Structure 1
Amino acid sequence: MRQDFTRLNFGWLGYFLPSETTVGTQPDMLEFVTSKAASWDCPISLHANLKRFEEHPRTADNLEVIRRWEEVRATDWLTETDKEALKEGSREYHLLINEQGEYELVEYEHILTAAAGNRELRAFLFNRGGDWYLRYWHIEGDKKLQLPISPSRATLYKQLDKPEAFLSTSQTEVTVPLNDCRYIKVTDYTKEQIVDIMNHAIITN
């Protein structure tokens, strides 16, 4: 146990459903806390019940975030450099599983203005290997997302080793599922252009 007792437990977290007044507990929120906890080699705890887990549409994604961070913490996968970076409160990180089935740590940014600031959409942007990726999901629903982007410059994934088909395409637009967490790899666009694309995204039923 560390001298400051932090290794005992990083904290108890509530588990909240989306409602008119809150987006509820979302994967990025748990990723932020569990990544900070892992940097101090601490577990986290959820205060909830089975009914609430069943009622939250993003429970599978939420628990997957915790599973990944607990696995890298338990196996001492993080380097000391990783841990020091994770401790910086202003930076957010995502622990992805890459095309080889291995963990990969990336820093990402929340696009608060996505879909004109519609709170239903959570969208984050990161760069790996010189390519830009979006990680996105709906806070609770099962809808569609129209993006003003050429289909030849975008690839949709739920898992990075398995590309998925778009729901529909035109020369200048793609429509993708908007429910569980997914990725979109974007090529031949700048960061600023991708943010602008997300700003003009449209959520449909």
Structure 2
Amino acid sequence: MSDDSKPILRMVWERFVSKTVDWAAVGVLGTVLILAFEPVKERALAIWNTPEALERIARKVDELVTGLADARDDIEALRRPDEVFEVSVTNSGPVDGYCIEREPCVLALKVRRNIESLSCRIVPGSSRWGFVNPRSDALIFAERLGGSPSRDLDASWATIETILRTPTGLEPGADLQFEVSYTDCPGMLPDADPVTYTSPRIPIEIRRD
């Protein structure tokens, strides 16, 4: 072997030794990390599986499910119609042209159902009738003495009659108004409470006896 080849062999040997030491150091470090991590991992898994941790997880799941249900209800509520029926104010009013205080008054109302609310179902016995004075928003309820039975209408105009006992204390330009409750409207859940809709005000001439 020539003298020129000795430095090359020495350099190769030194690099081999250096790499071997590096690999050994990496192996030792990896072993230490594994030994140190296993107890930590087991401790973390033990904490995760405690009744308290499982209870917290179950609570979070319940909150998430409740939030999704509320969001679904809110989205469905957007489909609920603003109005169920339409009243022709100009073609509705007392048959005699006026009502007399404390006396029965026969009223004919021209009404039809809005197309988007045809699926709504009237709650039997839910209609309430009354009058509103011009300077008040309070409904003064009137006793209903008879008239057409409450029923679900279609989208065609229909005339319904009702007989009310005209309350006392009404001003000459009082307005007739009525309320009706419905179920099964679009946007309403099957077990939802009925929703009450109020008619527009219908001007009525009130006379005193």
Name the TM-score, length of structure 2 as normaliser.
Answer: 0.20
Pair member with larger Rg: 2
Q: Which has the higher contact order (CA 8 A, sep 6+)?
A: 2
The structure where helix makes up a greater share of residues is 2
Structure with the larger strand share:
1
